[in-house]
Amino acid sequence: MTKARQKKTSPKSGDGRKADPMRLVSGNKMIAEGALAAGCRFFAGYPITPSSEIMEYLAQKMPRIGGKFIQMEDEIASMGAVIGASLAGAKAMTATSGPGFSLMQEHIGYAAMAEVPCVIANVMRSGPSTGLPTKTSQGDFMQARFGSHGDIPAIALVPESPIECFHLTVRAFNLAEEYRTPVVLLSDEVNAHMRENVPMKIELEAEIRERREPEVPPSWYKHYPEEVMVRDRPMAVFGEGYRFHVTGLTHDHEGFPSSKRDQIIDCHTHLVDKVRRNAHRIAAAEKYRMREAKIVIVAAGSAARSAKEAVKMLRNMRIKIGLFRPITMWPFPKKQLQEAVGRKAKAVLVVEQNFGQMAVIVRYYMPRRMPVVHLNQVDGELIEPEKIIAKVTELY
């Protein structure tokens, strides 16, 4: 379980800087820094509020460290360039917001089908369509899972703070390499434009996963595995002598289109199962003050910050309440949720900045007798802790 809790700094003492020096950084910049720390050396994108700062920062940094930065003509092309770069051996990413994320879906499906590792940072804003460019929302939870046609092995991570933006970006790249699939980072406008304390020197939470080169001679190389759901397997760089074919069509082990029934089943089962069967390795969540909680709030991303404030205030009033915060939206941390809620809870309150996308999933994993209550806010503002408190008091 990854945890990126904000470090509490000691209060002011004396005159100068602290022993543990801090700086003030926005979530967007932390995504960019996380990408570089993870070894990302290719970025293609098209500017869109509230994600543009990621692009701006990488436009400055990439050329200086031998990476490539391209501003493409639109989001579809951006995703295409990212797939190409990844096949050519680079760790690659793009960043966008709702409208751009919608455009990228076609190529996200392609990357999933062709098993191309890449990272898409989607800084959520209010939708549908152009919506409210400068306001926050969590409207893309479902799009990250079901945006593409067909069944894709969706992995999506939801950060709650700038420092977590960093750690989850690194994790997104690691997961992309491990499972050879596109990984979505679901940040939002609140995180994007908020600057918060971040240590001057950030320690990585996990080792950086590099792409594994094939250990066999080119003539033996199979780009796609013969057994299903294999993770962490070698991947040859396109154009270095290892022959393979890349297509969006259902394919065999060498990548060539196939319509043989057993190969079709293998291809699709492998795609979905490599994430589904490894969900226990990927799924992550944070439990906040869950001890003897009678009401469990489920909230992710920036909404979880409001929920934490509400929990803190309610606990001060001796109301037994806790927060369950999914860090991976997909795969959803269902086991952790079921354990956290247990038998003693009276109700589950799902707080989110949409009309109930996560609540559907929570409902699905909760026993029938457990009430699952929605609390939604879609006005572009971060939900106020008072609203959560009012709802909890009603339920308690």
Which residues here bind another protein, judged by CB under 8 A?
6, 8-13, 15-18, 21-24, 132-134, 190, 193-197, 302, 305-306, 308-309, 312, 382, 384-385
Which CB sits closer to another protein, 339 or 384? 384
Min dist. Cβ of residue 373 to another protein (A): 21
Taking the least distance from each CB to another protein, the nearer of 3 and 23 is 23
- Of the candidates 257, 282, 293, the one whose C-alpha atom is nearest the C-alpha of residue 181 is 282
C-beta of 68 vs 193, nearer to another protein:
193
**Interior CA angle at 386 toward 383 and 388, to 5°?**
65
Smallest distance, Å, CB 377 to another protein? 13
Which of residues 133 and 234 has its CB atom nearest to another protein in the complex? 133
Reduce the DSSP state of residue 31 to 3 states and report it: helix
In the complex with another protein, the residue whose CB is nearer, 87 or 124, is 124
Residue 91 C-beta: closest distance to another protein, Å: 30
| Residue 351 C-beta: closest distance to another protein, Å | 12
Tokens of 79: 């995703």
Element (H, E) at 101: helix 98-114
CA dihedral 296, 350, 205, 177 (to 10 degrees): 140
Shortest distance (Å) from residue 133 CB to another protein: 6
Distance of CA 374 to the CA centre of its chain: 23
Rank residues 274 and 287 by Cβ distance to another protein and give the closer one.
287
Of 209, 149, 148, nearest to 176 by C-alpha is: 209
DSSP state of 210: P
**Cβ closer to another protein: 201 or 368?**
201
Closer to another protein by CB, 306 or 357: give it. Answer: 306
Backbone angles phi and psi of 257, in degrees to 5: -55, 140
Q: Are 112 and 151 within 8 A, CB to CB?
A: no
Q: In the bound complex, what is the minimum distance in angstroms from residue 140's beta carbon to another protein?
A: 20
Q: Give one DSSP letter per residue of 134-176, joined into a string.
A: EEE--TTHHHHHHSSSS----EEE---SHHHHHHHHHHHHHHH
- Smallest separation (angstroms) from another protein to the CB of 375: 15
Residue 366 and residue 372 in contact, taking contact as beta carbons nearer than 8 Å? yes
* Nearest approach, Cβ of residue 139 and another protein (Å): 18
Instruction: Report which of 171, 82, 145, 361 is spatially closest to residue 272, judged by C-alpha positions.
Output: 145
> Which helix (H) or strand (E) covers residue 118, if one does?
strand 118-126
